[in-house]
Chains A and B, each alone.
Chain A
């Protein structure tokens, strides 16, 4: 081998050795950089990444509290929570939402309504939220899904508690219902307390007592894997169930009242006179509140909403009716109290009334007149002319002041959401709302509870209770006791709003007249006279549409919806009043013949049963 090749060999060998050393150094430097990076991650930022790792694996899961139960005064359950299985989808975890739904509907029935509701909810929720597509699954359906479970990523059967109203339509307006929390409500609630809750009270007791019924959310710290599956519970802070509510409501009375209304629409409100407790609160027609709990189908909702009978409307606290002649005892009291008339002072009733110097005839319901009547007879026979005269003498200002004292025209402040205040007209009201002065003729109409005068059935019942109580106005209330989860009971407060201090004799006189409405020979409600106890009452008839001058009001031929509303207020027993009641029967015609018997049935149910108990 030539020498040059040996030289080359050595040269190459040295050249390579140099490169190998350089390579080794570069390798060591590179690994040094790597160690530096690891030091940065594992030592300098160790705490940061430890926190992230904890966040990763430990999730805080809300434990929704169980909603409080609602009972009537006798312990009958009105609202409870029943276990139900629902099928839920997490949209983010599905490959193709539409295909998933299509394939699910091959296994169990999923209606158009279910799908619509699902998409509606989906818009309100986040992509990783679990959204129900079917609720109230049958056991067989649950089993069928379990078999095919692996085919549906992101689909799960969840066991939930669903609100249930065993009394259904009977308590619909009083209790209201719960429904899924909507966007508007989401802004108002404490989102952390509601983090595990799907439902919220939408109206009625469920809404008014939402904060007590809901309870306090619990939390559990769970270890989850990347798929969100809970592996074990690290810490558990149990939820605090909502308070149970016991109402003043007597379910037996409630059914009696509803049944007694028969074919008619209307409202019945009965109150316990001593406590102000609402014994009955019926608004007919009603609806099935259970339909609303998991989201009513839009078709069913439209049907309810567009019905001429207005079943969603709570007539008892939102129905504003002309009180008609039922206000006569109160106006009589005003006359006595302002000393513009004596109880036995007589007025002649020719069947109509005319303001001095005016042509217009204000009619009495009795075309040929009542003849000479004093206040007693005016109440018993419901003479309009007597009250036209009395109202004119009192004037609208005194009428407004006195009747407001009985709660007309102002909210009763009952513990129910959404009550309306009715209307007790005044000069100020007319000036500000109508931009018109008050006309004397309008005072006359107010005297018989017509015109602008409007009252809710609850206001009528409350005013009647105040009258029976001789001026002690107890605020009406629905809830009697609130029982916390640790069995501590709190009474709801009894609030006396205004004390009408009138001459005791005046109360006696008006109440005796009201007693004769039922007990007297010529009383407008004599048909409901009871042998067991004595009832004081007053009938009323409210015009739905006005009869033109010189036109006959023909009851037979007036279309059903234009017929007068029949009203009746009463309390009993006269000697020691226990129950006050207001009945409004829409398009019922005469108060005495239609509304009064309903009140009698309710009072029978209450008073006679109590007698048996004692």
Chain B
């Protein structure tokens, strides 16, 4: 290989496609996201008892989310990198203030009221944790040295513990997985991965000890949902009935008896996956999973095409967090995993996670579209 001559200059990628390129939009990602959102709204109409008001609210949130996505896509990834440590530090401050002054909702302290806006600081860590780890690890050569690795692990553990204490197991899980994916993508050795896995398994009993009663109940119910069919096991039993009775081709749109007769709880939020399975059957749900898979693989492709370590790690981690959303939600609804409050990404009714997820796709697009021309 001859000595390459590399020039750095900001310019548009050679293959540009008009307005979208100018707007830094990744077309395959945008189209698949729009399709997913369209499916989501269709299902929400059915799951939400055909209430237009529900759809309107969700549309407003989606509009906001997509706006955030487009705005973030305009920002150069270098800026994300620069902001990373500051955003992270601010986030930790927010988390501590939530514990000190936060508002209670559903038995957990998650919300922070800043006077002009109420938000969940834990939510922003789904973005800032991968950012800060990507920023930290990208400073030195990879794979990271053991000491840097420990520092990066601490970056992960501190917010995860703070979030778990709120308690918000679902978000803690997502944030933690974000950190873990970032480290995995950074190329830590397989040996370390196995040791970490073993440590995690050993921590199980300790986690049990630290859990709140309702969390323990969820785990127990997961292990044997029939033990409490009218209490905590009700969700899982009803959701399995909804999915199972859907069969291969489903009961048809708006014809799901489990959901329309109100047997299925939280059917337009966390358990909307069961509504899709009931009404569209195995065929419909596989089609949906393929759409999700496409988005995840597109994200990983963008990551692999990124020009610098920061972009790669960040894009990869964000894509994998999106997958964890999907898997944890679907796993919970199908009874593979215990019930943790994780929504089905971009389909479940609800605001916060929707905006976070679209923001992460904005960052992915930014990484994909702000490339420096490389000599071939």
**Inside 8 A of A50's CB, which chain B residues have their CB?**
244-245, 247
Inter-subunit contact B243/A23 (CB<8 Å): no
Find the A residue at minimum CB distance from B303: A20
Inter-subunit contact B277/A42 (CB<8 Å): yes
Inter-subunit contact B261/A24 (CB<8 Å): no
Inter-subunit contact A37/B334 (CB<8 Å): yes
CB distance from A329 to the nearest CB of B (A): 73
Contacts known (A19-B184, A28-B293, A37-B336); A12 close to B261, Cβ less than 8 A = no
Contact with A along B46-76 (1 / 0, CB 8 A): 0000000000000000000000000000000
CB distance from A41 to the nearest CB of B (A): 4
Compute how far the CA of A46 lies from the CA of B277 in the bound complex, rounded to whole angstroms: 12
**Inside 8 A of B277's CB, which chain A residues have their CB?**
38, 41-42
Inter-subunit contact B143/A23 (CB<8 Å): no
Q: Does A226 belong to the interface (CB within 8 Å)?
A: yes
Compute how far the CA of A53 lies from the CA of B261 in the bound complex, rounded to whole angstroms: 11
Inter-subunit contact A57/B257 (CB<8 Å): yes
Find the A residue at minimum CB distance from B304: A20
Contact with A along B331-366 (1 / 0, CB 8 A): 100111000000000000000000000000000000
Q: Does A308 belong to the interface (CB within 8 Å)?
A: no
Q: Does B165 belong to the interface (CB within 8 Å)?
A: no
User: Which A residues, 371 to 415, have Cβ-Cβ distances below 8 Å to chain B?
Assistant: none
Compute how far the CA of A20 lies from the CA of B246 in the bound complex, rounded to whole angstroms: 35
Inter-subunit contact B281/A42 (CB<8 Å): yes
Compute how far the CA of A225 lies from the CA of B264 in the bound complex, rounded to whole angstroms: 10
Compute how far the CA of A487 lies from the CA of B244 in the bound complex, rounded to whole angstroms: 51
Find the A residue at minimum CB distance from B290: A31
Q: Does A30 belong to the interface (CB within 8 Å)?
A: yes
Contact with B along A37-59 (1 / 0, CB 8 A): 11101110110111011001100
Compute how far the CA of A35 lies from the CA of B282 in the bound complex, rounded to whole angstroms: 8
- What bracket does the count of chain B residues touching chain A fall in? 35 or more
Inter-subunit contact B316/A20 (CB<8 Å): yes
**Inside 8 A of A56's CB, which chain B residues have their CB?**
238, 241, 257-258, 261, 263
Inter-subunit contact B244/A19 (CB<8 Å): no
**Inside 8 A of B373's CB, which chain A residues have their CB?**
none
From B244, B248, B289, B323, give the contact of A49 (CB < 8 A): B244
Inter-subunit contact B187/A12 (CB<8 Å): yes
Of residues A34, A35, A38, which shows the largest number of chain B Cβ atoms within 10 Å of its Cβ? Answer: A38
**Inside 8 A of A37's CB, which chain B residues have their CB?**
331, 334-336
CB distance from A378 to the nearest CB of B (A): 80
Compute how far the CA of A507 lies from the CA of B241 in the bound complex, rounded to whole angstroms: 83
Inter-subunit contact A53/B241 (CB<8 Å): yes
Inter-subunit contact A15/B293 (CB<8 Å): no
Compute how far the CA of A56 lies from the CA of B278 in the bound complex, rounded to whole angstroms: 14
Interface of A is mostly: helix
From B143, B245, B335, give the contact of A46 (CB < 8 A): B245
From A12, A42, A52, give the contact of B142 (CB < 8 A): A12
Compute how far the CA of A37 lies from the CA of B336 in the bound complex, rounded to whole angstroms: 8
Inter-subunit contact A38/B282 (CB<8 Å): yes
CB distance from B28 to the nearest CB of A (A): 16
* Interface size, chain A (Cβ < 8 Å): 42
**Inside 8 A of A28's CB, which chain B residues have their CB?**
293
Q: Does B240 belong to the interface (CB within 8 Å)?
A: yes
Inter-subunit contact B245/A34 (CB<8 Å): no
Q: Does A16 belong to the interface (CB within 8 Å)?
A: yes
User: Which B residues, 172 to 187, have Cβ-Cβ distances below 8 Å to chain A?
Assistant: 181, 184-185, 187
CB distance from A38 to the nearest CB of B (A): 6
Inter-subunit contact B289/A34 (CB<8 Å): yes
Inter-subunit contact B240/A49 (CB<8 Å): yes
CB distance from A55 to the nearest CB of B (A): 9
Contact with B along A16-33 (1 / 0, CB 8 A): 111110011001101101
Contacts known (A15-B187, A30-B323, A33-B336); A225 close to B262, Cβ less than 8 A = yes
Contacts known (A20-B300, A56-B257); A227 close to B334, Cβ less than 8 A = no
Inter-subunit contact B6/A30 (CB<8 Å): no
**Inside 8 A of A30's CB, which chain B residues have their CB?**
323, 327
Inter-subunit contact B303/A42 (CB<8 Å): no
User: Which A residues, 99 to 125, have Cβ-Cβ distances below 8 Å to chain B?
Assistant: none
Contacts known (A20-B300, A49-B241); A43 close to B184, Cβ less than 8 A = no
**Inside 8 A of B309's CB, which chain A residues have their CB?**
12, 16
Contacts known (A19-B185, A57-B257); A42 close to B263, Cβ less than 8 A = no
Inter-subunit contact A20/B185 (CB<8 Å): yes
Contacts known (A23-B316, A42-B247); A34 close to B331, Cβ less than 8 A = yes
From A35, A39, A224, give the contact of B289 (CB < 8 A): A35
Inter-subunit contact A23/B244 (CB<8 Å): no
**Inside 8 A of A48's CB, which chain B residues have their CB?**
244
Find the B residue at minimum CB distance from A39: B282
Compute how far the CA of A605 lies from the CA of B246 in the bound complex, rounded to whole angstroms: 76
Compute how far the CA of A19 lies from the CA of B336 in the bound complex, rounded to whole angstroms: 26
Q: Does B4 belong to the interface (CB within 8 Å)?
A: yes
Q: Does A488 belong to the interface (CB within 8 Å)?
A: no
Inter-subunit contact A23/B245 (CB<8 Å): no
**Interface CB pairs A-B, < 8 A, 10:** A12-B187, A13-B312, A16-B304, A27-B323, A31-B327, A34-B327, A37-B336, A38-B286, A50-B247, A56-B241
Q: A20-B316, A34-B331 are in contact. List 14 more A-B contacts (CB 8 A).
A: A16-B304, A17-B304, A27-B296, A34-B334, A37-B335, A38-B277, A39-B282, A42-B248, A49-B241, A56-B258, A56-B263, A225-B261, A225-B263, A226-B261
On A, residues with C-beta under 8 Å from B are: 1, 6, 8, 11-13, 15-20, 23-24, 27-28, 30-31, 33-35, 37-39, 41-43, 45-46, 48-50, 52-53, 56-57, 223-227, 231
9 nearest A-B pairs in the assembled complex, by CB-CB distance:
A49-B244, A53-B245, A15-B187, A225-B261, A226-B262, A41-B244, A226-B263, A49-B245, A42-B282
